[in-house]
Each structure stands twice: as structure tokens, then as C-alpha cells.
Structure 1
């Protein structure tokens, strides 16, 4: 029996299920099934519209910028915004707009003028302590930010659906950049890419530099005032954070592209400015333009961010996973223990987090940047990027003996 009309076989829409012609019964059952699936997804909140609304609600939830001390300075632990001085645009992130390539987690960073103080446009700053400090790396004992001091910029953990804390959540996302290549570059300007990543490498390290080239040597070590213009320079490539003149629209509204590019004036503006101040052309380097001028904005609220309450629980759960992977990996727990202890070359007990990641990778376990930072915070040393390997080995051995 033929259940389709001649018109349907030829590609036409045919009759509606209300007309008892052709396969009207099958179409009526199919529409009823689709309606049930729609109502079920609506009840569970899994419709694309519901997912989009939840995503926008998390990203655009209001956040009050705060400071740990109301003295007009920028401190480590402040909840702040990074604004471009000339365009009055705020740096923002979209964690759902991600790089789909395997093994390279990164999400988009842009600038906007319309969102205000929300989760996606507020950030934290953290100190950077190198594993092997040189004579050029100055260390400051206070919690204020200084010109020339190396730092990391961390996205507000509220944008990932977590509570706001001083560590950036269970998986911190750092502002990073990398040199221009065939696979990594800004979409519109083709300059150096700027995005967020969970890998705490040297590509995530920045420093605050004075706007005037003649004052950079004098201002090094001076505390940074809130609202003061500066250049945010990438330490690895010496390129400055730049607001490009390319606009686009995403789910969060109209955005401006952000890259790492030192923008210099092509005309004689900087030369005329130096001559007006009584300086000749060869005395100073040419100053960067307004696209590179940024400032930190904080609020009047004085508050101290709490540390994550589940940090210890998350570290212990991660230790159990490491113990299970070590037992199933080549050499077992004895082989992994030998590799970890061999990393401590100087006998100080401090091991770089990247070297620890390589050793664990040989055991069949790949840790991301957030998990390595969790181990570094649970078993800390003098430097923030190092782990107390002796205490770590004892914790893994304890978990291994408990489970097996």
C-alpha cells in the first residue's frame, strides 16, 4: 500500500494531518512526539534559548568592583576593570567563544562600552614569581602594584559560574598572548593574538609601563594609582595591549577587537609634542598611541576576597586521581616516585610546575594549568609557580596506601 500521495512523492508539502489523505496518521504522531520533546526540553531548561539566556545571565551579572584598602592604589586582590583611556571601552571576555583545536584551550577577549561592571568585564591581578629569579627581577613586600612589576591578569571566576574568590576559582583563566604565526593571530587586524587560557606559562605574564618613554626608568618601582594611564606590556614579546579599530557583534553585544600591538603614530604628532616640550627628535623614543593607553578602575567598596573553601578537597581528589593513574601507568607508583624525586636537583624540595606536569604526563596523566596551580597552592613554596615535591610525594603515597 502506498502511504504517500503523488504530490508528496514529487517533493510537495502535501496535505496537513487533518486531511485523511496519504500518511496523515504518521504525520500526526510525529507532530505529537515533537511537541512532547519540546515540552520536556522546556521543562528541563535544555532548549537553545534557555541555554543562551543562562549564559548571558551569568556573563552579565552585576559585580561591584572592590579594593582591599581605600588608599587610591591598585592592590593584588582588588576586583577591578581594565579600561582603554581614549575609547572608554572595558576589556571583556566570552568564555563560550572558544578555540576548537584539540589541546589548546583559549577563549575570546575583546572590549565593549555598554556592559558596565559585570562578571565578564571584571578581573583580578596576581603576582608573578619566577622559578629562578634574576638580578633584574625586583621583589616587593607590599600588596600594591608597582610599575615594572610582573603580574598575571585573571578572569572573574563568576563568569564560569563559580563564586568570587581571591584565587580565580578552581580553574583560573589568565590573559595571555603569543607571537603571530600561521595558526594564531587576531581575526581582523592580524596582529598578535590576545585571549584567555588556563595554562599558567610565561605567555600569561604582563607588566605595567609608564606612558611617557622618558619617565619609564624613573617610574619603575613606583606604586600604580587607580585611574592612572599606563601601557600593559607583554613580557615575552614586548608588545603592548592594543584596542583595534575593528568592531564585531557577538552574543554579548557590540565588541571591539583587542590585540597585542605597539601602535605608533605615523605622522609628526609625537615629534611636535617633544619639540613643544623643548626636546629634540633624537632624545626620546617615539611614544605609543592612544590605542595602547589603559587604566585600572576599582570601586569604593573595601573588601577582602575569601580563598576557595573547597581547595583542600579538590587537591585531595586530584591526589587520588594521580595515585590511580600512577598504579596503572608504566613503572607503577615506584617509577613515578623516582621521577618526581629526580626533579629536585638542588635538594631544596621545590619543583617547577611545568616540570611536574611533564613527569606526570609520562605516568599517563595530563594536568591543565588550573590543576597545577591547585597543587602549587596546596603544597606551596617560596615561589608561586613551584610545588613542594616532598610533601606532594608523601600525599600521593598516603593516598596510594589507603586505596591499595
Structure 2
């Protein structure tokens, strides 16, 4: 009995010594686990971070550059004779109109804007092609909503734009050496607008017949009579795609969650019709130039809503 008691005391004493040794051995300065590998990993991560920061490849840096270009202030063109010309810098705006269910639509004046995909924009410094479009509640001319009217052959700069004449709408998005063209094509099972599944409208750098558009007189009863006449500023027109005979339209009731917030979908659903003009007013577009009756030519950006605008039609 005494022997067993002595043996137990010896064992307890040995365990106490081991605990004291462990406490002395594993002090706060002792490193446990794969500490050497962790240090090298942290050094590699820091080196990779500094290298990307030096090259401007961090997501925050790309995000800032993209916003600086797309939101860069732009100067719209000046109309000296009251007409719209090839080479003019304009905004495409869908005017607000009363709605019976205003809470279900995106109200206010909507301007056509380029809307790059957020994920693709973070992966590359270049604009994605094709690039999406949307209609946003903005009246300020910036890189993402300022378009340039070009002739079909891109050479007739300064020429007066006429009803029924083919023209192109190009945009730089605030980037230098980059030109994208407003385009559209027939709807297919694999290619259509995101929300309405109608004919898609997009921006591309390819020059083709899909870039061509026409401006038609708003009143269908007088449309043929006005073919070939110059398009005056502040006159409502219909912007129609030449290849598909579909009118450009902003769907205020179809919302898109874009890089810049909630915006409306833009598509080409409406064929050019010769019916009553009552329904055409919503889809009518307006080419507005900066001029006044006294002959003092103002910058279009100084005229509030009196800018050079091509107003999209709502669905």
C-alpha cells in the first residue's frame, strides 16, 4: 500500500516537471506550425501587390481609370445654322412623358449610355467589345453618353444631315484612340436583349452595314414628303435601324443593375410604321442644336435641355 502511494507521488511529480518545462519551452517567442512557409507566403503576396500597384493593375486603380474616362466631361457641338451636321457631338435623350403607373417606370429624361460589364472592366484596361447600352437619368454630357454623328463613308464631316440619309453614331467613351459604333442585328435564339428578349442594340468596333441608321420624320403621313430635307435642330424624329427597319427605343419599365446603378434597357423593338402618329410620339427622337434667335451661338452644354440631342423613344 505504501509502495503504490509512493509511486503515484513520483508520477505526479514527473508530470508537474513536464508541465513546467513545457511552459518554459513554449514562450510567446516560440513559433509553431509551418511558420517559415507562412513568412515566405506573406512576402510573396506583398511583392505581388507592390508589382501590380506599380503597373496600375490593382482593381481599385482600374476602377478609378474606368470611371475617370466614362465620366470625363465632354463638350457638345454648336449649331450655327439650326441644322444637325455630320461630325456633331450629341446626346441621345428620351424625354420624360406622363405615365399612368409612374412608380413602375424609370422617370425623367433618359440619355443613351454605354454600359461596360463590371467584371470584364476589372479584368482589362480596354473596353469590352461588344459593349452594352442602357438609358440613364443624366443630363450632363460625359464620355459614356456623348455620341458623334458620322456619315456612312465617315468622310462627309460638316455635311448637313437629312431625313432618310444613312449615318452612324460613334462613341469614344472618354478613351483616346477608341471608337465604337452603335449597331444592331436581327434577334436570334442566342442573341437578344437581356430583359425584353427583343432585338439587341450594342456597341462594336467593327465597321459594317449594321452600323447604319436613319432619321425619319415623326408624322407618318408626311414622312415621304420630307425625305431628303435637312433635319432641323429641336425637331422630333424617329431613329431607325437601316438593316432591320427597327426603331431605337428605351424600355422604362425594364430595369438593369449596371456599373452606375439602376438604369433602363435599350432595344430595337418597333418597326417603322405608317399608322397614326399618336403612338409615335413616345418613340419620337429629337435632334436639338444650340442656337438662339439673336444669332449668338451658344455651346450646347450651356443650354440645359437645349443640347444636340437625339431623343430615344420609349416602349
TM-score, structure 2 length as denominator?
Answer: 0.69
Change (3 A) 1:18 1:89: farther
Q: Which residue of 2 is the match for residue 88 of structure 1?
A: 109
Q: Is the 8 A contact 1:82 1:297 kept in 2?
A: no
Q: 1:154 aligns with which of 141, 145, 170?
A: 170
- Asked if residue 44 in structure 1 is aligned to residue 55 in structure 2, the reply is yes
- Asked if residue 285 in structure 1 is aligned to residue 275 in structure 2, the reply is yes
3-state DSSP of counterpart to 2:239: strand
Q: Is the 8 A contact 1:83 1:296 kept in 2?
A: no
Change (3 A) 1:116 1:254: farther
Give the structure with the higher percent helix: 1
Q: Which residue of 2 is the match for residue 70 of structure 1?
A: 80
Give the structure with the higher percent strand: 2
Which has the larger Rg? 2
Cα distance in 1, alignment partners of residues 29 and 44 from structure 2:
16
Q: 1:121 aligns with which of 128, 145, 150?
A: 145
Q: Which residue of 2 is the match for residue 59 of structure 1?
A: 70
Consecutive unaligned residues of structure 2, counting only runs of 5 or more, are 1-27, 97-107, 121-127, 291-297, 301-315
Q: Is the 8 A contact 1:247 1:254 kept in 2?
A: yes
Structure number with higher relative contact order (C-alpha < 8 Å, ≥ 6 residues apart): 2
Q: Structure 1 runs of 4+ off > 6 angstroms?
A: none
1:147-172, Cα deviation, whole Å (9 max, x unpaired): 111111111x353x21xxxxxx5x53
Cα distance in 2, alignment partners of residues 204 and 18 from structure 1:
69
Report how many residues are paired.
Answer: 244
Cα distance in 1, alignment partners of residues 173 and 194 from structure 2:
27
1:289-335, Cα deviation, whole Å (9 max, x unpaired): 45522223455339xxxxxxxxxxxxxxxxxxxxxxxxxxxxxxxxx
CA RMSD, Structure 1 to Structure 2 (Å): 3.0
Change (3 A) 1:184 1:141: closer
Q: Which residue of 1 is the match for residue 264 of structure 2?
A: 256
Change (3 A) 1:37 1:150: same
Q: Which residue of 2 is the match for residue 296 of structure 1?
A: 287
Shift of 1:96: 5.5
Change (3 A) 1:211 1:115: closer
3-state DSSP of counterpart to 1:35: helix
Shift of 1:179: 0.6
Change (3 A) 1:19 1:236: farther
